[in-house]
A and B are shown apart, each in its own frame.
Chain A
Amino acid sequence: DAGITQSPRHKVTETGTPVTLRCHQTENHRYMYWYRQDPGHGLRLIHYSYGVKDTDKGEVSDGYSVSRSKTEDFLLTLESATSSQTSVYFCATGGDSNQPQHFGDGTRLSIL
């Protein structure tokens, strides 16, 4: 499991509110990722981090921001949630290119 914990596991909120999802790892992995999973689209990368304070955009980064102030924590923020951001969000960690990623249990986010 690579010791990955996502919180909260479920959240329902209203359009326009800010939302922050947290990913915590205990394995000291360098890379951390945020994905969203939607029917018909599979798994899409939102943002990723390759070290403390080092982050970069993925393919669907609009409307999302991230922060990584410590190796073990990677936060995903929706500044002003929209209904199109209703999804299941997965955090993952990884190491070198020949290593697989390890995933958290996911967060189900519903924006009404």
Chain B
Amino acid sequence: AQRVTQPEKLLSVFKGAPVELKCNYSYSGSPELFWYVQYSRQRLQLLLRHISRESIKGFTADLNKGETSFHLKKPFAQEEDSAMYYCALNTNAGKSTFGDGTTLTVKP
């Protein structure tokens, strides 16, 4: 069975500091991984997908199949980055498995 683990429920950094949100997965097939962001009382929205290898809002994420990780990184955090972040794994059955989420707080 597939599983997504986000080990940090809460993460707090100061503005301008680097930030890394961890995501580890277990899946026997070829993973399709995503990061979603949820700003306060808003809907979840896609932030990144591993297949596109792009940078959105300064965030990047690299799939490391050897370590089964898909950590989200940003070199200089901004206050507007404060939000809940979810890592998700898609299977070939059309389902997604989400991690429990990490609440990021960026302090001024």
Contacts and interface: CB of A to CB of B under 8 A. Distances in A.
Interface of A: 30-31, 33, 35, 40-45, 48, 50, 58, 90, 92, 94-106
Interface string B23-46: 000000000101010000011111
Contacts of B96: 33, 45, 94, 101
A46 to B, nearest CB: 12
A96 B71 CA distance: 23
B32 to A, nearest CB: 5
B44 A41 contact: no
Given A41-B100, A42-B86, A43-B98, A97 B91 contact: yes
Contact of A106 (B43, B51, B93): B43
A96 B43 contact: no
A104 B101 contact: no
Nearest first, the 3 closest Cβ-Cβ pairs linking A and B are A42-B100, A43-B98, A42-B101
Contacts of A90: 43-44
Contacts of A50: 94
Contacts of A100: 34, 36, 46, 49
A33 B42 CA distance: 18
Contacts of B51: 98
5 contacts: A43-B86, A90-B43, A94-B90, A97-B92, A104-B43
Nearest to B97: A45
Contacts of A94: 90, 94, 96
Interface string B47-72: 00101000000000000000000000
B87 to A, nearest CB: 10
B57 to A, nearest CB: 16
